[in-house]
A and B are shown apart, each in its own frame.
Chain A
């Protein structure tokens, strides 16, 4: 069966510090991978998605970046965090199925102070 891991679960970082969040998927090959952010009281905002190694599409211009160094690894990074980067970050995966169903990881709560 497929599983998706995210770490860390929670993170408190000062403004201006770097960020690295990691996501790995097990039990499937060549998945589509996604990074979402849920800000307080808001819906799910798609940040990045990837259809293959080294292929990243950005949905929202910001100071975040994403990389996919391996087939089942997706990394979200920032060189300098802003207060507005606080939120709940979710990684998800999907295969090319008809419904577009995505499966989410447990999330990372990021607080920028």
Chain B
């Protein structure tokens, strides 16, 4: 049973345009949602997180939006740069006080120069 789902395995975007990565979840007990970026043969790096009591969090070019009623979150990257090309993982934490992260399967973003 996949509690965190990233339904798009890949996404291509032109440099300078907006990249929108989507994530759906099924467990309403999650407290926080996080986005990670991963280059090949490297460990994931933390990008941005959002509390379940917020609906938006912004950090530079990265903004995460949370729609609790739809159990949906999205990561917006504006403007997209070639260096943003990577696999992006959505993760959720806080179920029943747990600090474990539940990850989606990832979306591979390709930013075309």
Do A and B form a real pair?
yes
A contact set with B: CB distance below 8 Å: 6, 32, 34, 42-44, 46, 49, 88, 90, 92, 94, 96, 98-107, 109
- From A42, A92, A99, A105, contact of B34 by CB (8 A): A99
User: In the complex, which residue of chain B has the Cβ closest to the Cβ of A4?
Assistant: B43
User: In the complex, which residue of chain A has the Cβ closest to the Cβ of B105?
Assistant: A43
Cβ B41 vs Cβ A103 within 8 A: no
Complex-state Cα separation, A105 to B32, whole angstroms: 22
Cβ B43 vs Cβ A107 within 8 A: yes
Q: Give the residues in chain B near A88, CB-CB below 8 Å.
A: 41
Q: Which 10 A-B pairs have the closest CB atoms?
A: A100-B93, A104-B43, A43-B105, A99-B32, A44-B103, A100-B99, A99-B49, A107-B43, A104-B44, A43-B103
Within 8 A of A (CB), among B81-108: 89, 93-94, 98-101, 103-106
Distance between B22 CB and nearest chain A CB, rounded to angstroms: 15
B contact set with A: CB distance below 8 Å: 31-32, 34, 36, 41-46, 49, 51, 89, 93-94, 98-101, 103-106
Complex-state Cα separation, A42 to B46, whole angstroms: 19
Q: Give the residues in chain B near A98, CB-CB below 8 Å.
A: 31-32, 51
Q: Give the residues in chain B near A106, CB-CB below 8 Å.
A: 42-43
Complex-state Cα separation, A101 to B32, whole angstroms: 9
Complex-state Cα separation, A102 to B47, whole angstroms: 11
Cβ A43 vs Cβ B100 within 8 A: no
Cβ B99 vs Cβ A94 within 8 A: yes
Q: Give the residues in chain B near A94, CB-CB below 8 Å.
A: 99
Complex-state Cα separation, A104 to B37, whole angstroms: 11
Since A100-B32, A100-B93, A104-B43 are in contact, a sample of 6 more A-B pairs with Cβ atoms closer than 8 Å, ordered by chain A residue number, is A44-B44, A98-B51, A99-B93, A100-B99, A104-B44, A107-B41
Q: List 14 A-B contacts (CB under 8 A).
A: A43-B89, A43-B103, A44-B44, A44-B103, A92-B43, A96-B99, A98-B51, A99-B49, A99-B51, A100-B32, A100-B94, A104-B43, A105-B43, A107-B43
